[in-house]
Structure 1
Amino acid sequence: MTGKWPLLCAAFAASAILYGAIVGGQIEQIFNAAVTGAERAAVAMGFGVKRVVVEGQRNATDAAITTALEAGPETFMLAFDTDAAKDRLEAVSWIRHARVMRLLPSTLQVEIEERGPYAMWQNKRQTFVVDSEGVVLAPALPQAFPNLPLVVGEGAGEHAASLYETLASYQDLKSRMLAALRVGDRRWTLKLRTGTEIMLPDGNIEMALNALQKLEQEHGVLQRDLAAIDLRLLDRITLRMRETTAAAVEEAVPAGVPTSATGTTNQPDGRT
C-alpha cells in the first residue's frame, strides 16, 4: 500500500491538471500547440509548399493568384484546403473556373479557365474590360486590348455580346463603327467613324438593320454626310443631315431619299 501511494498521488495530480485545463479552456490550446508542432516538423521534413504550377494563366496576375492561394513555404501540404483555395481563386475577376491539387511532397498544381476579354465598357467616365457576360475584368488598358469594341452607357457591358452577335451578319456596318451607345438600358445607338449615329429600336434590331442594309445598297446612305439615321420606327426611317452640309446636298438625289435637313424615306415594304 505504501508503494502505491506515490503513483496514486501522481495520477490524481495529472487528473486535476487535465480537469483544470478542460475547465479553463486550455485543452484546445494544448492540442493546437501539439498539432502545430507536428506540422512544423513535417514541413521541416519537406512537406511544405515549395512549388506552385499554374496552367491556363493569361491575364490573371501572379500577385492575384498568389494572394488567393494563401500558400507558402511554411504551409503544411496535408493541411492545405484545396476547396477553399478554389473558391478564393474563382473570386478573382479574370478566373471563371479553378482546380487546385496537391502533388506530394511539396507541389500545388493549379488549373484555371480564364474569362475572355470581350469589350471595352465605358460608363460614368470610367472604362473597363468586360467579358461576354458583362463581368468587369480590369480597368481598361487600350494598348493591351486595341481591337476590342467600345460600348458606352449603363447596361452596355452585359448586353454587348447580344448586339455584336447580331452585327456579325452586317460586316460592312460593323467595320464602320466607332462605338455602340446603350440608351436608357433598353436600346442601342451605333456611332460610326464618320460621326453618323444610327438609332436602333428597342426590339426588332435585325429588321431595322435589314432596312438599313437595303438603303445602303440602293442609295449609299452610310457614305453620305449624315448626322443621324433614325430606325426606331420601322415604318418611318428618318435621315438627318448635318446643318453645315444640308445646303450642299440640296441637289439631285435618288428618289425616296430626303433632300432636306430632316426627312423620311419609304420602308422597303412601301410604307412611309
Structure 2
Amino acid sequence: MLERLLIRSRAVPSDPPRRKGATSLGPERDRFGLLKAVLAAAPWGQVMMGAAIVLLAAMVPWGTSQFLNAMDRQVMAIDVTGTLVGENRTSLERSAGKWIGRSFFATDLSEIKDSLEQRPWVESAAVKRVWPDRLQVEIREKKPLAYWNSDQLVSRNGELFSPGNPEVAGKLPRLAGPDERVKEVISMARVMADTLTGHNLGFAGLSLEQRGAWTLTMANGIEVVLGRDQVEERFDRFITVYQERLASRSDEVSRVDARYSNGVAVQWKSVEPASRSKS
C-alpha cells in the first residue's frame, strides 16, 4: 500500500546568495535607526531646562497679578508729613483726598506727586505706599529768601512764586525789579548785605528800576540812591561817608544820593534843606 502512495513535494527554493558586506535590515529598520541616533544626540537636559524657564517666565506675571489682586485694598487714608510754614496740613490732605477709595496697588503715585507740586509753596512731594491701605506724602516747602515786588516771594533757588499768603514768610528783605533780572538783583543784594553786616549795619531791601537804576534800603530805613553806573564804587563810597560822617546821626537821615563823583547828598528827616557831604 505504501508503494501506491506517491508523495509529491514542491521544492522550496533556497535563499539567494548574499553579497559580501550587505546588511540584512530593511528600509523601515534603517529609518528608525537614524531617528534613534538623532534623539540620542540631542541635549535633552538643556532642552528641558529651557522649557521650564520659559514656562516659569510666562507664569510669573500671571501669578504676580493674581497675588496682587488677592492682596489689593482701597486707599483709606493719606498722611501728610513735613515741616510746613506756608502750606496747611489739612488743606494738603483734602487736596490729596480724591485718591481715597482707589486701588492701593494700582494708584499712580506720580500723579499725586505732580498734583501736589503744582501748589505755590510746595518744592517737592514724595509719595509712598504704607501697607495695607494708606499713602504717606512728605512735603518739602520752598524756602523764601525775600519778598519780590508787591505780591510775590523769591526762593533761595531764585524761583519766583505767588502764594495767597506771602505774609506768613515773616520778616524778610524786600527786593524789586523786572522778573527776568531776579537773579541779578539777588546777587547784588547778597554782596551789599554782606558788606553792611561787616560794618554792623543791616540790609532791608534793594530795587532795580526798569531803566537800570539801583536803590538800597538799610535796616534803619535810610534809602541810598546808587544810580545805573559804577554802582559798586558808589556803594563803597557811601559806606565810607556813612561811617565817618553819618553814623552818629543816622536817626536823622532819610535819604542819601550817592550818584556824585566826590561825595553824597543827604536828605534829612527834618525840614532842613539837603546838605552836601564831601568824602
TM-score class, shorter: 0.5 to 0.7
CA distance in 2, matches of 1:82, 1:114: 19
Following superposition, the deviation at residue 73 of structure 1 comes to 3.4
Following superposition, the deviation at residue 106 of structure 1 comes to 0.9
Q: Say whether 1:117 aligns with 2:174.
A: no
Query: 2:84 aligns to what SS in structure 1?
Result: coil
Change (3 A) 1:193 1:82: closer
Larger radius of gyration: 2
Q: Which residue of 2 aligns with 1:139?
A: 164
Q: Which residue of 1 aligns with 2:27?
A: none
CA contact (8 A) 1:168 1:174 kept: no
Following superposition, the deviation at residue 239 of structure 1 comes to 0.9
CA contact (8 A) 1:198 1:229 kept: yes
Change (3 A) 1:76 1:207: same
1:165 pairs, out of 181, 190, 207, with 190
Letter in 1 for 2:163: A
Q: What TM-score, normalized by structure 2, do the two folds share?
A: 0.59
CA contact (8 A) 2:154 2:161 kept: yes
List gaps (5 residues or longer) in structure 1: 1-41, 247-260, 267-272
Q: What TM-score, normalized by structure 1, do the two folds share?
A: 0.60
CA distance in 1, matches of 2:100, 2:254: 64
CA distance in 2, matches of 1:64, 1:205: 46
1:148 pairs, out of 172, 182, 190, with 172
Number of paired residues? 204
Cα deviation 1:30-62 (Å, max 9, x = unaligned): xxxxxxxxxxxx79x871112323232413223
Q: Which residue of 2 aligns with 1:75?
A: 102
Change (3 A) 1:162 1:238: same
List gaps (5 residues or longer) in structure 2: 1-68
Following superposition, the deviation at residue 108 of structure 1 comes to 1.0
Which structure 2 residues correspond to residues 1-272 of structure 1 after superposition, within 5 A? 47-59=73-85, 60-66=87-93, 68-69=95-96, 71-123=98-150, 127-132=151-156, 133-140=158-165, 142=167, 144-152=168-176, 154-155=178-179, 161-166=186-191, 167-171=193-197, 172=199, 174-175=201-202, 178-184=204-210, 186-192=212-218, 196-202=222-228, 205-220=231-246, 223-224=249-250, 225-232=252-259, 235-242=261-268, 244-246=271-273, 261=274, 263=276, 265-266=278-279
Same amino acid, percent of matched pairs:
20
Change (3 A) 1:75 1:186: farther
